[in-house]
Amino acid sequence: MFTAQDLKQALPQQFQSLEVTCVARTTSTNQVMAANLLHESHQQLLIAGEQTQGVGRRGKAFFSPAHTGIYFTYGGFGLAEQHLSLITPAAGVALTQAAFALFGVTTTIKWVNDVLIGDQKVAGILANRLENGQVLIGVGVNIAPAANAPDVPIDLPVGTLLKQAPTTDARLSLVASWLTHFDQLLQHPETIMPTFRQHAAWLNRQVDVMGLNHPLTGVVQGFADDGALILATDHGIQTLNSGSIRLH
């Protein structure tokens, strides 16, 4: 596992004061970061080589094995209130950019928090806003195949960025590249959704929307400037700011 100093050497100058913590194993980087941000509001990055209690959306378990993936949470960064809904799309865009820059791998983003190759999930993203207003964003990436398949309920087949483990540890470079791209997007929030649309999965495909009070099926038409899903249903066009989608 690389160290905080290793990561800082790979980051641009503006991140040299960033508090970075690297651990081989933790429960959940989002849970640990949330506890930290209740008392310390400065920018922090927590990186783990393995999670024992990784959590996805709606409390689902997130498979986080050692050696083949990387799991990290960035918190305490500032963002204007009107742009908070763009944090998750920005994180997805940053990961697609990092994956292509490092590995030449083309990925897509399933609204709103999964990164795919084909219809296989290679990464998950989870943003949280705490009671004290602090914001954090967690990212879990499957870089190479794990020895054992996940024994947890999943919505999508599990995939990996690479078909086999790279000869050199790519995890440090991936985190550094993601953070650099994510920061650039937050500096220019008007670029987030146009870029998201270029990488969006399942456009013009029929999907079911999960997590609502009622069943909803429609065709993905696009995405609003605030990150909302635009869905064509039997009852007309609907714009959704919550929920998740799966192929019908």
pTM exceeding 0.85: yes
**Cβ(242)–Cβ(211) below 8 Å:** yes
- Give the end of a domain, one of 199, 216, 236: 199
pLDDT digits (tens, 9 = 90+) for 187-228: 999 999 999 999 999 999 999 999 999 989 999 999 999 999
Say yes or no: 212 and 131 in one domain.
Answer: no
Sequence-ordered list of residues with C-beta below 8 angstroms from that of 14, at least 6 positions apart, any chain: 183
pLDDT confidence bin for 94, thresholds 50/70/90: very high
Spell out the residues 6+ positions from residue 11 whose beta carbon is closer than 8 angstroms to its own.
Answer: 18, 176, 179, 180
Hey, what are 93's tokens?
Answer: 């865009």
**Same domain assignment for residues 233 and 190:** no
CATH number of the domain to which 221 belongs: 2.30.30.100
Tell me the DSSP string of 102-122: HH----EEETTTEEEETTEEE
- Residues 238 and 188 grouped into a single domain: no
99-143 confidence digits (pLDDT tens): 999 999 999 999 999 999 999 999 999 999 999 999 999 999 999
CA 194 to CA 197: how far, in whole Å? 5
Give the integer Cα–Cα distance in Å for 49 and 29.
10
User: Are 148 and 218 members of one domain?
Assistant: no
Q: Do both 121 and 210 map to the same domain?
A: no
- Residues 6+ positions from 145 with CB-CB distance below 8 Å: 68, 160, 163, 164, 165
In this structure, are 102 and 220 located in the same domain?
no
The total of structural domains in the chain comes to: 2
Task: Give the separation between CA 44 and CA 29, rounded to whole angstroms.
Answer: 11
Cβ-based neighbours of 25, under 8 Å, separated by 6 or more: 48, 49, 50, 51, 52, 66
Length of the chain: 248
Residues 228 and 184 in one domain: no
For residue 22, give the CATH number of its domain.
Answer: 3.30.930.10
Query: Which two structure tokens, joined as six digits, stand for 190?
Result: 């008007």
Same domain, 195 and 211: no
Domain limits at 112?
4-199
